């Protein structure tokens, strides 16, 4: 069946996602991402993703146009039994072959109906139609079988649009249809506490091995930076250069967030944790609880939003609030020390700040936040100011800094935090 | 600046999403969906979405190809300062105009740097470059200003790829650049506690006025449902039909989340609030603190993750935990009652459940959660089970249900919660 013309290496794939709900923003497409991730892992490359509505004629014209530039076209969606499922006929037209019922697919549809004790309907049987000569792959997760059909110098591979079905079927079908790809090596790490543009300036100043590329994926407040190339040794050397040059902002390998690194480090050390939050309102604890295994680490937390709660629950001195204000280094330190004492844990972290839009003062404008970590050894207060963030971003940035402080506390080394964006001062309280 | 050739009505837009992380499946694109939903709401139509990697030459060739079929091309991504941000130069080439620094954009970059007390870098100033004659829109949410540039018979509108920035900027810029679509009236409300597919089945069973369309925008755990049509009276009648048929799941008008409705209702009533969370780990409080004005409502909260914390902080009976388990109606009720008593507030809500992946038992499998609301009048316990959710989704669903219970407590009417997806029973504790 396969055509004899030479095809590019690594295989370049175009993906076509079909559905009104996708272009109208009612459903977020995750299928193309699943295919893209599979492609990277297998040394293939997704060259283009095209998303189109269920309009008559559009699937056919889109596939024909893509076939001029690409040799493999993967479609998702439009294989169901209803009238707006137009993919089967469109692909038959694009590859220039008539639709035929596939005997295996038809038998599976009949068997499924029988197992449910219902008659198979003509509508349902539409799902056995494929372009003549197509290779059909039996689906065990749904009623629409994926299939591959060869056109003139190109191959179309069609999947159902249900994400669960696609994720189950795509690895098997794509491996069967596509030739082996180029192996590329990739190492990536997550960075926190500096802007993407400034991290990238530092990387551009490095002399990385030739052939190694750098990729950036910001996901506020972190940036994932990857090094990619054909030679593993070069990629490892480049990663080591980044690790050294960006040490202050790099999270431990494998951690996607500072909270994940905290759970790993506390678990390894056998430490327990308590949180005392004001402006972050529970985000510090929620970030920890997000990680499976948090129960071995987190003992308890407080959201002491009202001043009286800081006094009642954590033993903060009412005088300290009156003299220094609730948003102050003194109150942050007392919150952390109080949380550690009341919970009887190894480490406690506190956050108190002005999230805005109201509540700012000349001394503590919106964006000001004080954080403290109390351990047996010390209490360290970070005085930070985040500028230009809205209420949600400010709270997320404050929570991430709280996690980063906890990570520093495990090693007892806070130096990297002096380079952390927004941190103005670190105090060591005896 | 605008070209004189006739353009189609309603305007048909092609969207180009740019980024290696998108085609490699590391980031899921939500920008095209945001533009698609905005288009539907404004009477425009997204005809095609093309997603491409950051390859030299590719943005330019893609825009040129799309310009043959479409009159408006919206791009997202590639406006940042780093080397793999190639959109500015590509669009300049596609529209046939040289890149020039925009004076306003440059002034904003310099002012932002000055406000932070840092030198503006040459790299950062790349973000002021636009095709000569482009219309630049000042961004107040990021460093990359969106801009629009006219080519030969087409217009390209470029947005930064950061979803938060795109969502803030797109409505204003697209309204300024695109002609009015078909004028349509739209009313929308947010629904919580039932799946989109089942809400849609109920709506399909209604006889809505002809010409009125229904749009769905799920944003787990809520679904925003809009009614749209050319006649305002018809749209209002349709909205009233939805309000009646879906009353159990509809949030008060104007509230985007249950937490927002809680802050509004508690503020109106002059009520104060405390939270006591186990599995949700701070998300119930964080949802409240998310809303500006929360400080008038939220007094304090606890994350009582360890059993000892439930006993120490909230006065839960150690016996109750030993007999019924920490995930039980009895413990949920004691947590809420204890939180209300200790904080001295009008209402307290509690959450205790099994988020998984471990920790499930035969009686309380993963997905089981008990919630309680204590007020002066009563303590109501909801026994719920969320099936098929991962750890994060389960915790978000539990927090949303906690907010919904608080909303019910203000009116003292819990009936709607019997139709809430996952709620198995409501107990009234004397």
Whether A172 shows a pLDDT value over 60: the answer reads yes
CB contact under 8 A, B36 and A23: yes
Does A92 reside within a domain? yes
Q: How far apart are the first and last CA of chain A?
A: 78
Q: What pLDDT is stored for residue A362 in this prediction?
A: 86
CB contact under 8 A, A300 and B295: no
DSSP lists the bridge partners of residue A74 as: A15, A157
Q: Over the stretch B215-225, which tens digit does the pLDDT of each residue have?
A: 777 677 898 88
Question: pTM for the full model?
Answer: 0.74
CB contact under 8 A, B305 and A292: no
* Local confidence band at B25 (pLDDT 50, 70, 90 cut-offs): confident
Q: Chain A: give the shortest CA distance to residue B430, in Å.
A: 28
Same domain, B415 and B344: yes
- Contact pairs from chain A to chain B, CB under 8 Å: 264
Same domain, A148 and A17: yes
CA distance B231 to B226: 14
Which residues in A lie closer than 8 A to residue B302 (C-beta atoms)?
Answer: 300-303
Q: Are the C-beta atoms of B127 and B80 separated by less than 8 Å?
A: yes
CA distance B207 to B170: 34
* Closest to B248 (Cα-Cα) out of B427, B415, B405: B415
- Write the residue in A216, A285, A305 that is nearest to B84 by C-beta: A216
Counting the structural domains of chain B, the total is 3
* Local confidence band at B142 (pLDDT 50, 70, 90 cut-offs): confident
Same domain, A155 and A228: no
pLDDT, average across residues A181-191: 85
Task: Identify the CATH number of the domain in which residue B234 sits.
Answer: 3.30.70.1130
CB contact under 8 A, A28 and B24: no
Q: Over the stretch B299-357, which tens digit does the pLDDT of each residue have?
A: 999 999 999 999 999 999 999 999 999 999 999 999 999 999 999 999 999 999 998 88
Which residues in A lie closer than 8 A to residue B299 (C-beta atoms)?
Answer: 305-306, 308-309
Residue span of the structural domain in which B205 resides: 185-249
Q: Which strands, in side-by-side order, build the sheet including A379-385? A: A423-429, A379-385, A368-374, A347-353, A273-277, A298-304, B298-303, B273-277, B347-353, B368-374, B379-385, B423-429
Whether B9 shows a pLDDT value over 80: the answer reads no
* Local confidence band at A113 (pLDDT 50, 70, 90 cut-offs): confident
- Write the residue in B32, B38, B124 that is nearest to A51 by C-beta: B32
Whether A218 shows a pLDDT value over 80: the answer reads no
Q: Over the stretch A292-330, which tens digit does the pLDDT of each residue have?
A: 899 999 999 999 999 999 999 999 999 999 999 999 999
> Domain end: A215, A245, A275, which one?
A245
Best of A17, A289, A351 to disrupt the B interface (most B CBs within 10 Å) is: A289
Same domain, B166 and B25: yes
Q: What pLDDT is stored for residue A2 in this prediction?
A: 37
Q: What pLDDT is stored for residue B7 in this prediction?
A: 58
Does B1 reside within a domain? no
Q: What pLDDT is stored for residue B219 in this prediction?
A: 74
CA distance A96 to B157: 38
Minimum CA–CA partner of A59 in chain B = B48
CB contact under 8 A, A301 and B305: yes
Does A251 reside within a domain? no
Q: What secondary structure letter does DSSP report for A326?
A: S
Same domain, A81 and A218: no
Indicate the burial class of B100 (C-beta count within 10 angstroms; 0-12, 13-18, 19 or more). middle
Q: Are the C-beta atoms of B327 and B296 separated by less than 8 Å?
A: no
Return the higher-pLDDT residue of B402 and B143: B402
Same domain, A64 and A84: yes
Q: What pLDDT is stored for residue B8 in this prediction?
A: 61
Give the three-class secondary structure for A44.
Answer: coil
Q: E strands within A166-240?
A: 185-192, 213-219, 222-229
Q: Over the stretch B65-119, which tens digit does the pLDDT of each residue have?
A: 999 999 999 999 999 887 778 899 999 999 999 999 999 999 999 998 888 788 8
Does B201 reside within a domain? yes
Which residues in B lie closer than 8 A to residue A163 (C-beta atoms)?
Answer: none
> Domain end: B177, B205, B222, which one?
B177
Same domain, B199 and B126: no
- Write the residue in A40, A197, A308 that is nearest to B24 by C-beta: A40
CA distance B103 to B109: 10
Q: Over the stretch A58-97, which tens digit does the pLDDT of each residue have?
A: 999 999 999 999 999 999 998 887 766 789 999 999 999 9
* Local confidence band at A251 (pLDDT 50, 70, 90 cut-offs): very high
Does A394 reside within a domain? yes
- Which secondary-structure segment (H or E) carries B232? helix B232-245
CB contact under 8 A, B36 and A28: no
Does B2 reside within a domain? no
- Give whole-number Cα distances, A150 to A48, A86, A134, A147, B46, in Å: 20, 18, 7, 10, 30
Return the higher-pLDDT residue of A391 and B403: B403
Q: Which residues of A93-107 are buried (b: 16+ CB within 10 A; e: fewer)?
A: bbbebebeebeebee
pLDDT above 70 as % of chain B? 97
Phi-psi sector, A132: left (phi>0), alpha (psi -120 to 50), beta: beta
Q: Over the stretch B410-428, which tens digit does the pLDDT of each residue have?
A: 999 999 999 999 999 999 9
CB contact under 8 A, A197 and B395: no
Return the higher-pLDDT residue of A103 and A228: A103
The ipTM, to two decimals, is 0.73
Whether B5 shows a pLDDT value over 70: the answer reads no
CB atoms within 10 A of CB B8: 12
Q: What pLDDT is stored for residue B83 in this prediction?
A: 74
Whether A40 shows a pLDDT value over 50: the answer reads yes
> Domain end: B116, B150, B177, which one?
B177
Same domain, A277 and A376: yes
- Which secondary-structure segment (H or E) carries A147? strand A147-150
Whether B1 shows a pLDDT value over 50: the answer reads no
Same domain, A293 and A346: yes
Phi, psi of B226 (to 5 degrees): -120, 150
- Average pLDDT score, chain A: 91
CB contact under 8 A, A308 and B290: no
Q: What pLDDT is stored for residue B27 in this prediction?
A: 84
Whether A208 shows a pLDDT value over 90: the answer reads yes
CA distance A194 to A249: 7
Best of A43, A166, A282, A291 to disrupt the B interface (most B CBs within 10 Å) is: A282
* Local confidence band at B3 (pLDDT 50, 70, 90 cut-offs): very low
Q: What pLDDT is stored for residue B201 in this prediction?
A: 84
Same domain, B242 and B264: no
Best of B46, B191, B289, B296 to disrupt the A interface (most A CBs within 10 Å) is: B289
* Closest to A93 (Cα-Cα) out of A138, A63, A123, A129: A63
Which residues in B lie closer than 8 A to residue A284 (C-beta atoms)?
Answer: 282
CA distance B406 to B286: 15
- Write the residue in B34, B80, B115 that is nearest to A387 by C-beta: B115
Q: E strands within A286-367?
A: 298-304, 347-353
Q: Chain A: give the shortest CA distance to residue B14, in Å.
A: 10
Same domain, B237 and B276: no
CB contact under 8 A, A303 and B301: yes
Minimum CA–CA partner of A218 in chain B = B162
Q: Chain B: give the shortest CA distance to residue A411, in Å.
A: 25
Task: Identify the CATH number of the domain in which residue A89 sits.
Answer: 3.40.980.10
CB contact under 8 A, A196 and B80: yes
* Local confidence band at A3 (pLDDT 50, 70, 90 cut-offs): very low
Alpha-helical regions (H) of A43-98: 58-67, 87-95
Does A7 reside within a domain? no
Which residues in B lie closer than 8 A to residue A33 (C-beta atoms)?
Answer: 22, 25-29
Which residues in B lie closer than 8 A to residue A285 (C-beta atoms)?
Answer: 281-282, 303, 305
pLDDT, average across residues B178-190: 82
Q: What pLDDT is stored for residue A83 in this prediction?
A: 65
Concatenating the DSSP letter of every residue in A350-374 gives EEEE--SSS---SSS-TTEEEEEEE
CB contact under 8 A, A200 and B81: yes
Q: Chain A: give the shortest CA distance to residue B73, in Å.
A: 14
Task: Identify the CATH number of the domain in which residue A339 sits.
Answer: 3.90.950.20
Does A78 reside within a domain? yes
Same domain, B341 and B199: no
């Amino acid at each position: 069946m396969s055509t004899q013309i030479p095809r590019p290496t690594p295989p370049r794939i175009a993906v076509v996602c079909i559905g009104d709900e996708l272009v109208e923003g009612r459903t977020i497409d995750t299928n193309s991402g699943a295919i893209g991730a599979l492609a990277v892992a297998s040394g293939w490359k997704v060259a283009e993703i095209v998303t189109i509505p269920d309009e008559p004629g559009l699937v056919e014209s889109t596939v024909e146009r893509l076939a001029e530039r690409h040799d493999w076209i993967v479609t998702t969606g439009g294989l169901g039994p209803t009238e707006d499922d137009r993919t089967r006929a469109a692909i038959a037209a694009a590859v220039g072959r008539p639709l035929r019922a596939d005997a295996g697919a038809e038998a599976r549809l009949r068997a499924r109906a029988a197992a449910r004790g219902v008659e198979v309907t003509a509508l349902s049987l539409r799902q056995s139609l494929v372009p003549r000569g197509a290779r059909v792959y039996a689906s065990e997760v749904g009623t629409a079988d994926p299939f591959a059909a060869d056109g003139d110098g190109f191959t179309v591979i069609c999947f159902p649009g249900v994400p669960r079905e696609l994720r189950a079927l795509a690895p098997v079908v794509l491996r069967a249809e596509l030739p082996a790809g180029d192996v590329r090596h990739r190492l990536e790490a997550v960075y926190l506490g500096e802007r993407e543009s400034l991290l990238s300036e530092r990387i551009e100043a490095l002399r990385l091995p030739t052939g190694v590329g750098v990729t950036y994926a910001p996901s506020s407040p972190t940036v994932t930076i990857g090094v990619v190339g054909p030679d593993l040794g070069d990629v490892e050397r480049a990663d080591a250069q980044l690790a050294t040059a960006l040490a202050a902002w790099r999270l431990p390998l494998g951690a996607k967030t500072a909270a994940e690194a905290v759970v790993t480090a506390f678990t390894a050390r056998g430490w327990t944790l308590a949180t005392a939050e004001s402006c972050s309102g529970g985000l510090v604890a929620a970030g920890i609880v997000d990680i499976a295994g948090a129960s071995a680490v987190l003992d308890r937390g407080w959201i002491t939003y009202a001043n009286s709660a800081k006094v009642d629950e954590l033993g903060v001195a009412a005088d300290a609030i009156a003299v220094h204000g609730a948003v102050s280094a003194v109150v942050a330190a007392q919150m952390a020390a109080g949380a550690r004492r009341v919970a009887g844990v190894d480490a406690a972290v506190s956050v108190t700040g002005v999230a805005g839009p109201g509540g700012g003062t000349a001394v503590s404008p919106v964006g000001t936040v004080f954080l403290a970590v109390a351990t047996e050894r010390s209490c360290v207060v970070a005085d930070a100011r985040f500028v230009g963030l809205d209420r949600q971003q400010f709270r997320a940035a404050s929570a991430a800094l709280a996690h980063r402080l906890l990570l520093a506390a495990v090693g007892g080394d806070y130096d990297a935090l002096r380079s952390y964006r927004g941190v103005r001062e670190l105090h060591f309280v005896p």
